[in-house]
Amino acid sequence: MRSFMQIKIYRGKFIAYAVFVVSIGLALGALTCAILLDQWVGNSRNEASGAFSRVENSLQYDSDRIEAFMQRVYSNSGLVSDIRSFLGNNAEGYLTSRLQGSQYNRPLVSFPDDMKSFLSNGGKGDITQISLHTEQEGNVVSFDNNGNTSYQFRLPNSDETFRETIQRGFVYHKKLSDPNQISRQIGEFRFLVSSDRIFKTVQNYHVDEAAAVSDSGDVYLIAGNGRGSEELIRRIMADGRTHGFLSTGFMDRTYFVTFHSNEFDYRFVSTVDLASLIRQKANVLLIVFLIVLAAMICVLLLIVYNLREDANFLRRIIASIGRVKTADFTPVNPARYRRNEYGMIARELDDMIRQLDRHIRTNYLLKLKQQETEMKALQHQINPHFLYNTLEVIRSSALVHSADHTSDAIATLGALYRDIVKNENIIPLGSELNLLQKYLKIMEFKYPDRFFYQFNVDTALLSLPTVKFWLQPLAENFFIHGFHPESEFNLLLVNGWEEAGRFVLEIVDNGNWISEEQLAEIRQKLSRGDDASVDSIGLRNVYTRLRFFYGKGFSMRIDNNEEAGVKITVILSKEATDDVQAADRR
């Protein structure tokens, strides 16, 4: 990260990207948490709805059972008779009356036992109290949790036992009429359905706090923690909404939902504390947080990777420009290609530097090398005796022969030196062969009828670009080291042809051999690419210039011929000659 943070443009980009990614991550995380919270609240509402439906079904079931019992009473005269005995008497009076009205041939009917078995499942059902009232008082049959039956007789209708509150339960009022005279009312049944037993089933549902509220405002806590829960329920009832959120503190909020029972005159209220809900689901929220955090880190790492790569390319571009400004064309590893503008620019700059280096080498440095070569050729390589001997030959020829030969010799020498001192440093190979031919013609004047030469070069090689004046030093080596003045047949051949992927040029003579030790030393130094390849100034100069001009596509080999003389082979790859031509065109 440090590599691109030092660049102002990428530092700004990274900060902007980081702010954007963190903002999006936080927004997505908050949205996900909100969706999950809404789903959990919805699940709590569904649980509350299920609990309310369960209570309603239980109350409706008890109501239906009571209606069935009333029908059972009217259809059974024995039950009506026993109820008459029960109504308005004490325990002794009830037992005496029912015995007096019994018949030996009929079973004794017990109104309390019939109610216990039919309505209360043996006294363990939801109906815990049944009372039969006259206008002033009433008698009570109660069932405890163990199914035991207890009786209370002749209690005033205003007694606490008959007070109707939601804490005790729901009371069903049923008028008892005389079966023989419907308009005549015998009394009134009051069936108490216990709130404790009805709402006990709500505990099977996942509700934090729940309560039943009567129309009069009484609150029965089904699930909760005492007075605080009761106060919260009263606030919800005062709010008037069927569902919503209610503030319970500085940062605390509670979701509530209410259901109204039109048939049984009460409201079912359920609440969910969001703080408690979040604590219960902390593991899920932690997983969401970790996923969002991991996603943000991955995106930021991807951004860092791309910015670092772009910064490296920009730094490479700046470094390349600096190298060009300081003329530092030292080869560097090529830029790794990327399919974007930075990658292409960096790659093109590297290529431009290589081309500039080649252009400078082939034009400016080569020009300096050529000037140095010409100076060496004038000062060292061209034997001064050659000029003196040639002039002596011309003088002798002028004395012995006609003036035409003298004119040709002088013209050839003048043409040779004019071509040598021309400013062109890069010429076609055909022009270089013409220079060599003029030199060899002069040698024919020097050694008449004892020296012969022949060129066998394919036309495909004549247009190849090359440096000037490198064939003459190779031929001069023959006259210095291999020529036999006393021999009548001294031969120099220049052969050139094209092969697959390369061009081959040979300079072959029939002079002296080179010793094996010296030949091995020359080959070793040439393969090493040393500028001081050999002791011969001419051969060293030629090798250095050609290797500098053609690069790795050039090679030179020196061998002894089988019969006599030396063969120098110059090999040029087509790729190297194409590169030289492309650079020359630029």
Distance CA 234, CA 252 (A): 18
pLDDT at 508: 96
pLDDT at 380: 46
pLDDT at 471: 92
Residue 212's DSSP bridge partners are 220, 268
What letter does residue 254 receive in the DSSP assignment? E
pLDDT at 379: 44
Q: Do residues 111 and 175 lie in contact, with contact meaning Cβ atoms separated by under 8 Å?
A: no
How big is the chain by its Cα radius of gyration, in Å?
A: 61
Among residues 361, 333, 337, 360, the alpha carbon closest in space to that of 347 is found at: 337
Q: Do residues 432 and 461 lie in contact, with contact meaning Cβ atoms separated by under 8 Å?
A: no
Q: Do residues 224 and 230 lie in contact, with contact meaning Cβ atoms separated by under 8 Å?
A: yes
pLDDT at 572: 94
Q: Is the dihedral angle over the CA atoms 464, 468, 473, 478 positive or is it negative?
A: positive
CATH of range 207-280; options 3.40.1800, 3.30.450, 1.10.10, 1.10.150: 3.30.450
Distance CA 237, CA 211 (A): 11
* 67 token code pair: 């209606």
- Return the number of other C-beta atoms located less than 10 Å from residue 572's C-beta: 22
Q: What would the pLDDT profile of 6-21 be if each residue is shown by its tens digit? A: 677 777 777 888 899 9
Three-state secondary-structure class, residue 250: coil
φ/ψ of 395, rounded to 5, equals -65, -45
What letter does residue 514 receive in the DSSP assignment? P
* 210 token code pair: 């729940």
- Give the CA dihedral 146, 152, 155, 158, nearest 10 degrees: 0
Domain boundaries, the chain: 207-280, 425-585
Among residues 138, 145, 104, 90, the alpha carbon closest in space to that of 122 is found at: 145
Task: Assess whether the region 207-280 and the region 425-585 belong to the same CATH fold.
Answer: no
pLDDT at 333: 65
Question: What residues in the chain have per-residue pLDDT under 50?
Answer: 378-385, 531-534, 585-586
Collect all residues with Cβ–Cβ distance below 8 Å to 249 and sequence separation of at least 6: none
**What pTM was estimated for this model as a whole?**
0.53
Q: Do residues 553 and 572 lie in contact, with contact meaning Cβ atoms separated by under 8 Å?
A: yes
pLDDT at 374: 58
What fold, for 425-585? Heat Shock Protein 90 (3.30.565)
The angle formed by the CA atoms of residues 275, 276 and 282, to the nearest 5 degrees, is: 85
Q: What would the pLDDT profile of 275-298 be if each residue is shown by its tens digit? A: 888 888 889 989 999 999 999 999
What strands, in cross-sheet order, belong to the sheet with 502-509? 451-457, 490-499, 502-509, 566-573, 554-560
